[in-house]
């Protein structure tokens, strides 16, 4: 865990999905440690409310807000450009935003939404900010994944055109995020930039409610309210993210998966270098963007 006296003074941190849940608690924790925090939120009104609350609770006015819908590649590009116009450094990038939709839905770019928001958005945003991150080394990239990862992943149908099941789609997207995490960590070895991922625990957020098909919502919602009583809260869920973002204990540690501030194994397929390369190529094809670093040879 980050020590209570850990200082992030002089550090610039970006947290996506920062207006509620784990993202908001992560932004608050970083602000309390003195960091300049850049919140990325989709909804301006909710973002501004969360920004005010974080400033008040942390006593830190260095909490900035950028608005972007991460399901849109153009919005992600505008976000990166706006950030780089305001800041010349980025010491911590927390790719926290995620979610799932109950029925198959396409993004504005014509890409399946669950895959887009849980993997492709992080892939593109990290790519666009990578030069700034490398120039700020030592720096850290943290991807919020999940133990919902699947044991297999169909790279020929990542957009679930054959059959869409929400939890299968979500799990595959989080598996893709793990493949990306390990590949990027290898690419950045020795640069002073670390890349790690984590499972925050089963957190009582609004994810489950949004994941229920509308036809079943009247029946499922009461059960969700009961189930939430047994889940951890967002503050607890943010602890591992904050640990990876701030703790001296993980300085220089890269290419690992964490839960409860301890390393653990992700699904076996996520360590497959050939799969990492194939997914990387797919990410570059779908975003039209090539990372300016070379993958290790097989």
User: What are the residue numbers of the active site?
Assistant: 170
| Nearest CA-CA partner of 195 in 263, 151, 139 | 139
Burial (Cβ within 10 Å: 0-12, 13-18, ≥19) of residue 239? buried
* Beta carbons of 75 and 83 less than 8 angstroms apart: no
- Could you tell me where the DSSP H helices lie in the chain? 21-32, 44-58, 73-86, 113-115, 121-135, 166-187, 207-210, 217-228, 234-237, 239-246, 273-287
- C-alpha distances (whole Å) from 243 to each of 4, 13, 250, 295 are 11, 14, 8, 27
Closest listed residue to residue 211, CA positions, set 165, 175, 176? 165
Q: Which residues have CB under 8 Å from 169's CB, separation 6+?
A: 100, 104, 112, 114, 115, 160
């Amino acid at each position: 865990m980050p020590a209570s006296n850990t200082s992030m003074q002089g550090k610039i941190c970006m947290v996506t999905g920062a207006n509620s849940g784990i993202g908001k608690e992560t932004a608050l924790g970083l602000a309390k440690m003195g960091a300049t925090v850049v919140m990325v939120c989709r909804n301006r009104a909710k973002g501004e409310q969360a920004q005010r609350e974080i400033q008040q609770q942390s006593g830190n006015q260095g909490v900035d807000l950028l608005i972007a819908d991460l399901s849109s590649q153009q919005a992600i590009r505008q976000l990166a450009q706006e950030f780089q116009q305001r800041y010349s450094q980025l010491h911590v990038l927390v790719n926290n935003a995620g979610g799932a939709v109950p029925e198959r839905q396409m993004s504005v770019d014509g890409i399946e939404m669950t895959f887009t928001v849980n993997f492709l958005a992080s892939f593109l945003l990290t790519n666009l900010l990578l030069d700034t991150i490398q120039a700020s080394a030592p720096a850290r990239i943290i991807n919020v994944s999940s133990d919902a990862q699947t044991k297999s992943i169909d790279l020929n149908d990542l957009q679930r055109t054959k059959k869409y099941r929400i939890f299968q789609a979500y799990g595959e997207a989080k598996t893709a995020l793990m493949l990306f995490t390990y590949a990027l960590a290898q690419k950045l070895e020795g640069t002073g930039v670390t890349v790690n991922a984590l499972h925050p625990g089963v957190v009582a957020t609004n994810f489950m409610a949004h994941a229920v098909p509308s036809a079943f919502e009247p029946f499922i919602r009461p059960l969700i309210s009961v189930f939430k009583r047994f889940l951890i809260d967002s503050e607890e869920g943010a602890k591992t993210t904050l640990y990876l973002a701030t703790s001296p204990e993980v300085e220089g540690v890269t290419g690992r998966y964490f839960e409860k501030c301890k390393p653990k194994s992700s699904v076996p397929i996520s360590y497959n270098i050939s799969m990492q390369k194939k997914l990387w190529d797919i990410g570059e094809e779908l975003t039209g963007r090539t990372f300016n670093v070379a993958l290790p040879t097989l």
